Amino acid sequence: MPRLPELSDLCIFEDEHLLFINKPSGISSLEDRNRPGVSVLATVRRQLPEAQLCHRLDKETTGILVVAKHNEAYREMAMLFEARKVSKHYHAVVAGQLSADHMEIKLPLAVGGNGLARVDKREGKQAITYITTLKSYSHYTLLMCEPVTGRLHQIRAHLAAVHFPIAADEAYGGKIPMLSELKKKFKTGKSDTEGGMIKRVALHAHGLSFTAFEKDYSVVAPYPKDFDVLVKLLDRYDSTNA
């Protein structure tokens, strides 16, 4: 169970209007009924009681979240998100080799009774994601994903729908990536069983860009340790030049 974070651990940039934080995996954006008081918003409000979260990320997803410090900032950000004037960039590791340059995935999504998103061309809501290859490996691809709309699990469902599920996203068909599949003569200790190179959905909200309060914002959230380790292992053991 992840520890309760401190705001100082999460903050990557702030000014008089907005606070940008790097959300860890395993912590809900808003109130978690299974763990009262353990959420990003609860952490922020311990120091900023009037703060409001401007958007959210899935519990397992890491990365950038923007928090409004006062009501005027919240109204401004709500209008920007509604008008789709906030540029969102996610990084994802997917299984397979995919060469894409701002490729559009335009598939309507609906939420099923199991709480998962699915492509539904009759009743689904419009959903658009653009994807660009950042690094190609022998068995995996590091992608940049730019969701235009903000549907539940949009990136996860869209990538699964085009047969490139996110690594370790078992809910959408992704498999846990194993180092033994890439590294020659891989061995575990006698009493050990192999864990995955990453054990949660390999998706990270990397950056946000927008203009507000007559100022241009462009903020990046560094990779968390598990995502950084995954990419470094792929660099070392799954390079196409190996």
- Catalytic positions: 58
Closest CA to 53 of 101, 10, 95, 89: 10
| φ and ψ of 64, to 5 deg | -75, 135
Beta strand ranges found along the chain (DSSP E): 11-14, 18-23, 52-53, 62-68, 87-95, 103-106, 109-111, 117-119, 128-136, 140-147, 203-212, 215-220
- C-alpha–C-alpha distance, residues 128 and 231, integer Å: 26
Indicate the burial class of 206 (C-beta count within 10 angstroms; 0-12, 13-18, 19 or more): buried
Cβ-count burial 94-118 (b if 16+ within 10 Å, e if not): bbeebebeeeebebbbbbeeeeebb
| Amino acid code (one letter) for 118 | R
Determine the 3-state secondary structure of 181 from DSSP: helix
Q: Read off φ and ψ for residue 117, nearest 5 degrees.
A: -80, 150
